[in-house]
């Protein structure tokens, strides 16, 4: 029986989960090591559909720094992470920018936006 081991990231406790195939369990997986039901949900989702919130930096013009920190507004499927990061690194914006401004709308048709993680004033 294949077992997957991972650390739950739902809360700061960081339970050490052991996930194994079990056709008698919901979604076909048995989750052990969790201290709450959120760990079960996290473990199953991580096995069935792994995804991540991304952080990165886009090129910033007319600002006090060369790059603007950004993050995704929701999770991105793990298989799209590399392509999304490539798009983020190549994107250019011009200051001023407000925290929460949409920098890239609906990246790779995921329904997820890339937003500014901080406010940046322009140099002029």
101-120 burial: b if 16+ Cβ within 10 Å, else e: eebbeebeeeebbbbbbeeb
Give strand pairing partners of 29.
21
Confidence of residue 124 (pLDDT cuts 50, 70, 90): confident
pLDDT, tens digit (0-9, with 9 covering 90-100), for 45-83: 888 888 889 999 999 999 999 999 999 999 999 999 999
Confidence of residue 10 (pLDDT cuts 50, 70, 90): confident
CA-to-CA distance for 84 and 12, rounded, in angstroms?
27
* Number of Cβ atoms within 10 Å of the Cβ of 93: 20
CA-to-CA distance for 22 and 31, rounded, in angstroms?
9
CA-to-CA distance for 4 and 22, rounded, in angstroms?
13
> Looking at residue 31, what is its pLDDT?
92
Confidence check: pLDDT of 1 > 60: no
Domain residue spans in the chain?
3-48, 55-116
CATH 3.10.530.10 fits 55-116, yes or no: yes
CA-to-CA distance for 73 and 53, rounded, in angstroms?
8
> Looking at residue 47, what is its pLDDT?
87
């Amino acid at each position: 029986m294949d077992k997957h081991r991972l650390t739950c990231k739902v809360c700061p406790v960081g339970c050490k989960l052991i996930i194994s195939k079990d056709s008698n369990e919901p979604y076909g997986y048995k989750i052990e090591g969790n201290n709450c039901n959120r760990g079960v949900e996290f473990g199953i989702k991580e096995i069935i559909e792994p995804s991540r919130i991304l952080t990165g930096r886009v090129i910033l013009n007319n600002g006090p720094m060369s790059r603007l920190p950004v993050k995704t507004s929701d999770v991105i499927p793990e298989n799209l992470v590399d392509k999304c990061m490539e798009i983020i690194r190549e994107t250019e914006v011009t200051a001023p920018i407000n925290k929460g401004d949409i920098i890239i709308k609906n990246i790779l048709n995921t329904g997820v936006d890339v937003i500014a993680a901080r406010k940046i004033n322009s140099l002029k």
